[in-house]
Amino acid sequence: MNNFREEKTTMYHEEKETLFLSRTWTMGILIAIMALATFLAFFHIGKLSFWSDELSTILFTKNSLFGMFGMIWPQEMNMSLYYLIINLWMHLTSVQWEGSLRSVSALFYIFEILAVFFLGRTIVTEKQTGNIIGLISAFLIAINAYAVQYANDLRSYSLIILLATLATFFLVRALQTSNKKYWTRFVITSVAAMYTHYFVGFLFAIQGIYIFFALRKKQNELAIKKLISSFITIGVCIIPLIIAVLLSGTTNIGWISKPTFTDMSQFVTNVAGGQGYTLLVLTLIAFCAGIAALKYNKEGTVERSNGVLFVSSAILPPAIVLLVSLTFKPLFVARYFVYILPFISIISALGIVKLLQRKDIVLKIAGTLLLVLITIFSTIGLTKYFRYYQNEDWRGVSGFVLSECGTADDLRLYYPTWTAKLSFYYHPEVEPQNAALEKNLDKAGAPLQASDVSGYKDACLIVLSSSATPNLSAIQNTLSGVFPKSEETKFPGALTVYVYRK
């Protein structure tokens, strides 16, 4: 018995045509989309240097299992499941360059394509239409440059998209079938998602609240009990995470700044595929067409409850956190909400398919043109990503510092001081050789004295200017007083190396 499906409305003749794909064609196209995703994920997976967050992942996971948990508890538990997977991967594989380590995220991205296909099918009652919506949903997320970016990132973002999609799929199936196995799978994937990133909790909270009131309206007490029981189980399973949050306090979010209009603008263009406002407008048109299909569901072929669930999942998590960030405490970080991508793709696919189904030739052409244009501009977005995207180039910085200040007679300083730990990966010999002096750089007032640095031949100051650097001018003035000759070299990702010579 379907616990979540809206009751069918009275049959109404709608001017539409049925789209049809055979099982063989459906499987063939899905395999082709996954092959495309595989190509996109691995095309230049090792081209870019690890950036600071990726190097932090390696710093934690290169230790033994117990050593890793000793380092991440309690302040770095946010991605603990992903760290565990990478830790196991590093101990199973002997080759540990950028591409081999990032391939874990790439695999999660490939599997998320399959998960989006199955979730997309649940938005309509017609199997054939569901298959087409699932295929277009999978295709849209496969060619989304934002999704591909995090497929090439040694962080948990691809995994969180996969787990959020699977958890939602199992929740929908549990409500549709009342099958215990789906409730169990929903709990397992939800707990796994929470151990992958805390912010997915906003998604599950919104889904749980919406479904509770939807079931209450239908007076489905049995499904409500199962829903509440499942969320209680999830809550019990994440008690260690709750304890970790309470122990670490606001330490891990203290760096988050209040979002600006530019931040919000960049976020919405990125989730649309990263190709400016043209692709954003096209995606919005498709998304609004999907919402219209939910509202004007006269034949009852669209699972309206599922559709509203997906629309809420796409809009409300970032919107609520953005509102909190603007009025109370900054929490909004764009990449923390990549898990909304599948829901945007599914609603957009629904809008496109419903336009294609109409007998009105103008609407049919509009649907076709919309899909073609989104594909074209998404491809342009992918091309620009592969050609121009840059992040912090610690590989280049480490090699440069090694050539300029690589001897024991040279001083190496990293600022902010937390970046000093990132020098271990490419060239361990460029680590700061004076730990006490490095630590003093964070002190207010006079963090560096001439007497501290006068005994060195040359000096290199490595600065990550995207982070707060309040003492930078004072440090530079002290170094300039001892080393009269200086030169500045910039690297991608707001990294700058200042070389000082006597």
Q: Could you give the CA distance from residue 344 to residue 169 in angstroms, rounded to a whole number?
A: 15
Of 421, 415, 432, give the one whose Cα is nearest residue 496: 415
pLDDT tens digit sequence for 111-129:
999 999 999 999 999 999 9
pLDDT-derived band of residue 11, with 50, 70 and 90 as boundaries? very low
Q: Could you give the CA distance from residue 412 to residue 491 in angstroms, rounded to a whole number?
A: 17
Neighbours of 474 (CB within 10 A): 16
Q: Which residue has the higher pLDDT, 300 or 247?
A: 247
**Please, are residues 370 and 285 in contact by the beta-carbon 8 Å criterion?**
yes
Per-domain boundaries in the chain? 23-388, 394-501
pLDDT for 384: 95
pLDDT at position 390 over 60: yes
Tokens of 479: 């170094």
pLDDT at position 17 over 70: no
User: Mean pLDDT over residues 169-185, rounded?
Assistant: 96
**Please, are residues 120 and 129 in contact by the beta-carbon 8 Å criterion?**
no
Cα–Cα distance list, 327 to 259, 323, 331, 333 (Å) = 11, 6, 11, 15
pLDDT tens digit sequence for 231-243:
999 999 999 999 9
pLDDT-derived band of residue 21, with 50, 70 and 90 as boundaries? confident
**What length is written for the chain?**
502
pLDDT-derived band of residue 460, with 50, 70 and 90 as boundaries? very high
How does 133-157 read in b/e, with b if 16+ C-beta sit within 10 Å?
bbbbbbbbbbbbbbbbbbbbbbbbb
> What does pLDDT average to over the chain?
93
Cα–Cα distance list, 162 to 11, 40, 224, 343, 375 (Å) = 37, 17, 26, 12, 22
User: Which segments of 73-220 does DSSP mark as H helices, in order?
Assistant: 80-92, 98-121, 127-142, 145-151, 157-177, 180-194, 200-218
pLDDT at position 320 over 80: yes
Percent of the chain at pLDDT exceeding 70: 96
For the beta sheet containing 411-415, the strands, ordered from the edge strand earlier in sequence to the opposite edge, are 411-415, 458-464, 495-501, 485-491
> Which of 339-343, 430-434, 442-446, 469-473 tops mean pLDDT?
339-343
Decide: residue 73, CB within 10 A, 0-12 exposed, 13-18 middle, 19+ buried: middle
pLDDT at position 279 over 50: yes
Q: Could you give the CA distance from residue 211 to residue 3 in angstroms, rounded to a whole number?
A: 11
User: Mean pLDDT over residues 137-150, rounded?
Assistant: 98
Of 411, 405, 397, 384, give the one whose Cα is nearest residue 464: 397
Q: Could you give the CA distance from residue 148 to residue 158 in angstroms, rounded to a whole number?
A: 9
pLDDT for 96: 81
User: Mean pLDDT over residues 388-405, rounded?
Assistant: 95
Antiparallel, parallel or unpaired: β 495-501 and 485-491? antiparallel
pLDDT tens digit sequence for 53-83:
999 999 999 999 999 999 999 999 999 999 9
pLDDT for 357: 92
User: Mean pLDDT over residues 204-225, rounded?
Assistant: 94
Residues 6+ apart with CB under 8 A from 211: 4, 171, 175, 227, 309
**Please, are residues 287 and 344 in contact by the beta-carbon 8 Å criterion?**
yes
User: Mean pLDDT over residues 75-100, rounded?
Assistant: 92
Q: Could you give the CA distance from residue 383 to residue 143 in angstroms, rounded to a whole number?
A: 10
pLDDT for 3: 53
pLDDT-derived band of residue 4, with 50, 70 and 90 as boundaries? low
User: Which segments of 336-495 does DSSP mark as H helices, in order?
Assistant: 341-357, 361-388, 394-405, 435-440, 450-453, 472-482
